[in-house]
Amino acid sequence: MKKVLVTGAAGFIGSHVVQQLHEKGVEIKAAVLPNESTTNIDAYVSEVVRGDLLDKDFTNEIVKGVDTVFHLAAVYAVWMEDWRPLWEVNLQGSRNMLWACHECPDVKKVVYTSSLSAIGIKPGKEVSNEDTAFNQYHATPYVLSKYLSQQEAIGFADHGMDISIVNPAFPFGPGDVGPTPTGDIIITIANGMSRLKLPGGFNAVDVRDVAAGHILAAEKGKAGELYVLGNTNVTAQDFCRMVAEIDGKSQERMIPVSQTVLEGTAMVAEWVSKNVTHKKPPISLGAVRYGNQYIYMDCSKAKNDLGYQPRDIRISIKDSLRWFRENGYL
């Protein structure tokens, strides 16, 4: 890699990809939204291009002169009053970028950021991997949009594009300016929900390891292959306990919360958000139902094929809490 394009460069994962590419001496063109702040990447990029991925002229122009494209730009949300922007960006925006890369002779490699949510979930606490067939058709619009856009990327690989697909798990760590829905988990627990015994479980990973996995995929990833960038499978209950322990809070007794109570609370919260506040609810029905499962993943393929080496998730939680506290989120 000599000069790369990173879309979604100012986002949580994107900003860490940018920083690590800079440390490798790679020249970086960063694609961001027209009014998006770039303070977290200004020191690392040689060029910032602003525009809309729904504009084909924009996507065709920004790929010129780069040998590698990291496509991370996406709408990541568990609730929206209007889901249309998510579908437009995650599907048509990705399609525009893929076509632009396909038509540009300068582009030799594409790393496409999908999601753990684009992979199927096995029953109970069985562990899924890149070969597990998708089965979450009734999950949130975000989940379905990531699966459908991933299929688009695989289609381009089938027609000769050198494109590797990475599937980040639930990322935690410093720099979550959004914050993302995963960052909200840390904030919610730290702000008082650490005693709740919640159902389900998930795969947690450090955002810096996810960024490193992107670069490894560019260097070693095979065309059309999926790589889960995850780390630790943990129950929601144990994650709450872990955050509380690292945050120095007492964890003597946890209060069990049933799925019925969670769903009822989410329904009320969404009604208030849609009809009264017009702001993001503290809990959403889609997230509750998706999160009730054990979203456990095996990331051995990335370790074996790419040399991916994630760190202890406790370090990620500690650094995330510190960053949120230093930046006024807690």
Domain count, the chain: 1
pLDDT tops 90 at residue 273: no
Ordered DSSP codes for 113-151: E--GGGS---STTPPB-TTSPP--TTS-HHHHHHHHHHH
The reply to whether 243 falls in a domain is no
The per-residue pLDDT of the chain, averaged, comes to 93
Residue 198: predicted pLDDT: 75
Residue 299: predicted pLDDT: 97
Closest CA to 175 of 318, 11, 312, 30: 11
For the chain, the straight-line distance linking the first and the last C-alpha, in angstroms and rounded, comes to 39
Q: pLDDT tens across 134-159, in order?
A: 999 988 999 999 999 999 999 999 99
Percent of the chain scoring above 90 in pLDDT: 75
pLDDT tops 80 at residue 278: yes
Average pLDDT for 59-71: 98
Higher-scoring residue by pLDDT: 20, 285:
20
Q: How far apart are CA 17 and CA 208, in angstroms?
A: 8
Confidence (pTM): 0.92
The reply to whether 258 falls in a domain is no
The reply to whether 169 falls in a domain is yes
Residue 188: predicted pLDDT: 86
Residue 104: predicted pLDDT: 97
The reply to whether 264 falls in a domain is no
pLDDT tops 80 at residue 257: no
The reply to whether 129 falls in a domain is yes
Q: pLDDT tens across 87-131, in order?
A: 999 999 999 999 999 999 999 999 999 999 999 999 999 999 999
Residue 172: predicted pLDDT: 96
Length of the chain, in residues: 330
Average pLDDT for 204-224: 98
The reply to whether 323 falls in a domain is no
Provide the domain limits for residue 57. Answer: 3-176+203-233+296-311
Close Cβ partners of 14 (under 8 Å, ≥ 6 residues apart): 6, 7, 8, 41, 70, 72, 73
The reply to whether 70 falls in a domain is yes
Local confidence band at 281 (pLDDT 50, 70, 90 cut-offs)? confident
For 132, the token pair is 């597990």
Write the CATH number for 225: 3.40.50.720
3-state DSSP assignment of residue 206? strand
Closest CA to 309 of 231, 234, 196, 223: 231
For 53, the token pair is 């991925």
Percent of the chain scoring above 70 in pLDDT: 97
